[in-house]
Amino acid sequence: MTPSVGAAAPDFSLKDQNQKDIKPSDFQGKKNVVIVFYPLDWSPICTNEHACFVNDMKRFEQLDAAVLGLSVDSVWSHKAFAEKMGIQYSLLADFQPRGAVADKFGVYLADKGITGRAIAIVDRAGKLAWFKNYDIPTVPDVKEVADALTKLK
């Protein structure tokens, strides 16, 4: 079940590609957090999606937002994917138990064993400020996400 916009966002702690524990609450009071839920590292659509975020990182930095990618892939897959793609933001491994964090946001697809494609914005107060599900074969519109962030300022 997806948390409601305006409600407190689920907090969690996951390791990123550098073995660092990352929690959305680490950014509370400092930055808005964009959580990019995606099915799998290395897949064509996910690769395009991350290329869009990498290319637009300056815009997200100007909007004072931290970007976090999240999928069921392992820390090691994330590390190789981030190096290949030039990703500087954290890719979080929702690996064990598989999809547990994505499930808190209502985007884990248990029948497929993967994370669905969605984007959540958690505001500085720790509330879910914006959320959108996307079809698996759809690359999310990064401009739409930036526009949602702009409205939070």
Catalytic residue among 9, 45, 46, 142: 46
For the question of residue 46 being annotated catalytic, the response is yes
DSSP notation for 20-40: -EE-GGGGTTT-EEEEEE-S-
Closest CA to 145 of 51, 33, 44: 33
Q: What angle do CA 11, 88, 101 make, to 5 degrees?
A: 25
Residues taking part in catalysis? 46
